[in-house]
Structure 1
Amino acid sequence: MARRRKPPGEFVYTDVTVADPEEGIRQGIIEVRTASVDAASWHARWARRWGRVYFALGLPSAVLAGVAGATGLASTSGRIPAAIIALVAAGLGAAATFLDGARHREHHTAMSAAWQSLASDAHTHLLADVPSADWLRTDGRAALQALSRRRARLFGLTAPSADEQSPAS
């Protein structure tokens, strides 16, 4: 049976009852941070995979094209092997173009950075703001909502612009 992988950034909302709203805000920020770290890691892994695909198809294609040209020019008896090598090189080049590994790698790298930025901002709130009960009562809810909105935009699989990644104040 195939194992279902959860989408990046997904976490299960628990039915935990918290003693007060401040604890709920604390738990919400922890959940955003945890889910964001997981999503950043997931996208980083996929960026590495697409990078390998890009080089695994593109590099042999370029090398084989050069070999085919050299073989074809070296002698008339090498035309058939040169043609076969050229066809293989063309097939690899077409596959590399079709799969567009470079674009996928760039996308996943940007998404990983965006998720990591969200996780970092949530972590900063946990370190600097959450210990203050006054902040939790006054600004905590707005900060959690801002983090949650950023997270929701990332589910649209679009990396936010630099000004959208700034932490909520």
Structure 2
Amino acid sequence: MLVPRRVATLADPPSATRLHLPQCVAILAHPLSATSFDLLLCIATLARVQSATSFDLLRSVATFAHPPSATSFDLPLCVATLARTLFATSFDLLRSVATLAHPPSTTCLQLPLCVATLARPQSATSFDLLRSVATLAHPQSATSFDLPLCIATLARLQSATSLDLLRSVATVAHRPSTTSLAR
């Protein structure tokens, strides 16, 4: 499969540091054969597939991120279950994700804190960012395609950085009426 140059650019943008989002995810998950490039390619590919669902996206991410003690289906099933639960909180959602994805030497809180550190929003706390992601998992006005399409849009921008990616995710999650091409 030919890989779009723009996707590769986002995986290793010249203006980004070694701690940009894809590498951070890969480092936390400690995948032996997956790279940050593989993860972004998978997300971008699913975003362009009309029949792809949020479950497909999460399953693909879990394939690269799951620890040896979990199967590739554990992470998406857990997220999908919480996303369909009206009483699920952002803490429940992220704790479940972190529990499955973290290496043995980390706690379930280090993954969300690391994501929040990368985003570095000036007026938002780590809880605000994580709550936004959780909100996007089950908003009434958003579709399952909003997040992957947003990521794919940024993947096509050569100047996009991890900060742009996370800011876009937070922006989409906070919008009352989410559009699939929001940046």
Q: TM-score, normalised by structure 1?
A: 0.28
Higher relative contact order (CA 8 A, sep 6+): 1
Radius of gyration: which is bigger? 1
Greater helix proportion: 1
